[in-house]
């Protein structure tokens, strides 16, 4: 935001660009976390029916800034 000379308390015309940047950064971090910690590793749940093993095969996140500040 500094590079764009945008006021973080009043993004105005930078709202969409800032929202896209945050979305890309958080998705990159989420995918890194998924690959390093979650991908295809078993998650075990015990229930009345017995042991249930699950494996995550993907991770999708959606970020969105709240309304534009004024």
Task: Tell me, yes or no, if the pTM score tops 0.75.
Answer: no
Which of these, 5, 19, 3, lies nearest to 67 by C-alpha position? 19
Facing residues of 53 across strands?
44
Contact 65, 44 (CB under 8 A): no
Residue 3 reports pLDDT greater than 60? yes
pLDDT digits 0-9 by tens, 8-55: 888 888 888 888 999 999 999 999 999 999 888 999 999 999 999 999
Residue 68 — left, alpha, or beta (φ > 0 → left; ψ -120 to 50 → alpha)? beta
Model pLDDT, residue 64: 84
């Amino acid at each position: 935001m500094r590079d764009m000379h945008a006021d973080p308390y009043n993004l105005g015309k930078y709202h969409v660009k800032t929202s896209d940047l945050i979305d890309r950064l958080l998705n990159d971090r989420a995918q890194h976390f998924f690959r390093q910690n979650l991908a295809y590793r078993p998650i075990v749940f015990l229930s009345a029916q017995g042991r249930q093993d699950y494996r995550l095969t993907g991770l999708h996140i959606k970020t969105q800034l709240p309304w534009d500040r004024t």
